Amino acid sequence: MTVKRRIVRKKKKNEAYEALAKVSGVEELERATIILKELAQRNQRKEDIKNKKQTLKKIKKEKTKPQKVQHNIKDEKINRLKELDNLRKSGILTNQEFERLKSDLIN
């Protein structure tokens, strides 16, 4: 008989817990908790994607900068060579000085 009483008590406790859970809204709270966690994870993923996109943009900008600098350096060298050639043609520089300055500029 004691075994039956224990089983009956457990059933009553389980039934009472389920009834209390329905009344107090525990199931709804658990669902709401799950939904809120999923929303937080979704927002975190969106932030991660946004940060990665910004990082890629920065990397692309940094990659283009050295190329622009190289073009500027080449343009400066060409302009300097033209200046030296004009100085040679006007007689201010000798051919030897021009060649020496040109080799220094190229190297």
Query: pLDDT means per 10 residues in the chain (107 residues)?
Result: 61 70 72 88 93 89 68 82 88 86 83
Are residues 105 and 81 in contact, defined by beta-carbon separation less than 8 angstroms? yes
**Distance of CA 25 to CAs 12, 13, 28, 50, Å?**
19, 18, 5, 37
How many domains would you assign to the chain?
A: 1
Question: Which domain, by its residues, includes 68?
Answer: 2-106
**What pLDDT, on a 0 to 100 scale, did the predictor assign at position 47?**
94
**What pLDDT, on a 0 to 100 scale, did the predictor assign at position 91?**
85
**What pLDDT, on a 0 to 100 scale, did the predictor assign at position 93?**
81
**What pLDDT, on a 0 to 100 scale, did the predictor assign at position 54?**
92
**What pLDDT, on a 0 to 100 scale, did the predictor assign at position 88?**
87
Are residues 74 and 98 in contact, defined by beta-carbon separation less than 8 angstroms? no
